[in-house]
Amino acid sequence: MRFRHPSGGLIHLAYCTNVHPAETLDGVMAQLTDHCAPVRHRLGRERLGIGLWLSADVVSTLMTHSRARAALAETLRREGLEVVTLNGFPYRGFGSAKVKHRVYHPDWTTDARHDHTLRLATLLAWLLPDDVTEGTISTLPLAWRTPYDAAAESAALKQLHRLSRELDLLASGTRRQIRIAVEPEPGCVIETTDQATRMFTGPDAPPTDRIGLCLDTCHLATAFEDPDEAVDRLTRKEIPVYKAQLSAALHAEHPERPEVRAALAEFVEDRFLHQTRERALDGTVTARDDLDEALEGDAPLSGSGPWRVHHHIPLHATPPEPLSTTLPVLRRTLARLVGGRRPLTRHLEVETYTWQVLPPELRPSDADQLADGIAAELSLARDLLTDLGLKEVA
């Protein structure tokens, strides 16, 4: 979906296909036809943007076989789908029964992460629509925080510098500008915009003409960051937001109450990490790496302040009381990013990959219900954009 900003710039809205994880090219083709196209039909649009997720094995197939690339392009064309952004965070196995910390490997200290991202950039330059010259790839925020030391930091930054030079070469050969968007996430080396600012203003900072940020509004909210303060911090330091992921976290205002803890326990599951944060009255934020640890671990959170949980809740969905979501944080962040005189980002992506691990009352029972839900999320995002003065274009 495309929107025209009042300043004249084009804003792209997509949804991320990591909600339909596929580990083979045939699986990717099937997801485009069986999932993405039905969402487009429900929205009544001739064209739908998707934030494509491609596993390392699929990327290898596409890079090796020109017929495979042609088949992917033809399927996208036939189904009315366009790609201007990729989710380069998960490497493989995102549909596994247990992902947890595996999603952070390989990290940016390794050649494997660099090589994968460069291949993604090469593919994206090829996949971009004819009238689009800029693409983005979101990626993990260097690494999980442990183990990580000064040597690891140096290695990760060297990889980003190396990639930046190669993206310059790619641009000169293709006339396509591909930019990498580092995505702060709870528990990682870069969890907050303050940590991101320190990296981008440090002595070995990666060049911001190629490397910037992806702001995920679920992650921002989970860390209890104020959207205005976060965006102001990045703007002052001229750190670009190349991409934003529109998502909502789970919020519990009174986690000390038994009925609230029981409601939160319904969101404990084995596939993904659900980092949990508690904010005290003095603003101090206490962290646990998963929701079950926060509730019943060796050192559970006290419940003396509100909790936010890294559990992506569909944008239009309302969890059972007494829980809520951080949709207000998304609204405020979006207003700052695209509601001003000039947009601060041009690529927006709805990313709710947790549909299949939600409690039963929120979980879709089949592909039709999932398509209905994703279409509802995109409709809400569309309404937020038009309320900010953007105009949808064909």
| Residues contacting residue 172 through CB under 8 Å, at least 6 positions apart | none
CB-CB contact of 241 with 183 (8 Å): no
pLDDT of residue 297: 87
pLDDT of residue 100: 97
- State how beta strands 134-139 and 81-87 pair: parallel
CB-CB contact of 90 with 22 (8 Å): no
Phi, psi of 213 (to 5 degrees): -120, 155
Ramachandran region, residue 175 (left: φ > 0; alpha: ψ -120 to 50; beta: rest): left
Show the 3-state SS of the chain.
CEEECCCCCEEEEEEEHHHCCCCCHHHHHHHHHHHHHHHHHHHCCCCEEEEECCCHHHHHHHHHCHHHHHHHHHHHHHCCEEEEEEECCCCCCCCCCCCHHHHHCCCCCCHHHHHHHHHHHHHHHHHCCCCCCEEEEEECCCCECCCCCHHHHHHHHHHHHHHHHHHHHHHHHHCCEEEEEECCCCCECCCCHHHHHHHHCCCCCCCCCCEEEEEEHHHHHHCCCCHHHHHHHHHHCCCCEEEEEECEEEEECCCCCHHHHHHHHCCCCCCCCCCEEEECCCCCEEEECCHHHHHHCCCCCCCCCCEEEEEEECCCCCCCCCCEECHHHHHHHHHHHHCCCCCCCCEEEECCCCHHHCCCCCCCCCHHHHHHHHHHHHHHHHHHHHHCCCEEEC
Separation CA 148–CA 390 (nearest Å): 42
pLDDT tens for the chain, 394 residues: list them.
999 999 999 999 999 999 998 999 999 999 999 999 999 999 999 999 999 999 999 999 999 999 999 999 999 999 999 999 999 999 999 999 999 999 999 999 999 999 999 999 999 999 999 999 999 999 999 999 999 999 999 999 999 999 999 999 999 999 999 999 999 999 999 999 999 999 999 999 999 999 999 999 999 999 999 999 999 999 999 999 999 999 999 999 999 999 999 999 999 999 999 999 999 999 999 999 999 999 998 999 999 999 999 999 999 999 999 999 999 999 999 999 999 999 999 999 999 999 999 999 999 999 999 999 999 999 999 999 999 999 999 7
Q: What is this structure's pTM?
A: 0.97
Residue count (the chain)? 394
Sign of the alpha-carbon dihedral angle for 259, 262, 264, 266: negative
pLDDT of residue 86: 98
- What's the distance, Cα to Cα, between the start and end of the chain in Å? 8
The domains found in the chain, sorted by start residue, are 2-249+313-393 (3.20.20.150)
pLDDT of residue 333: 98
pLDDT of residue 394: 76
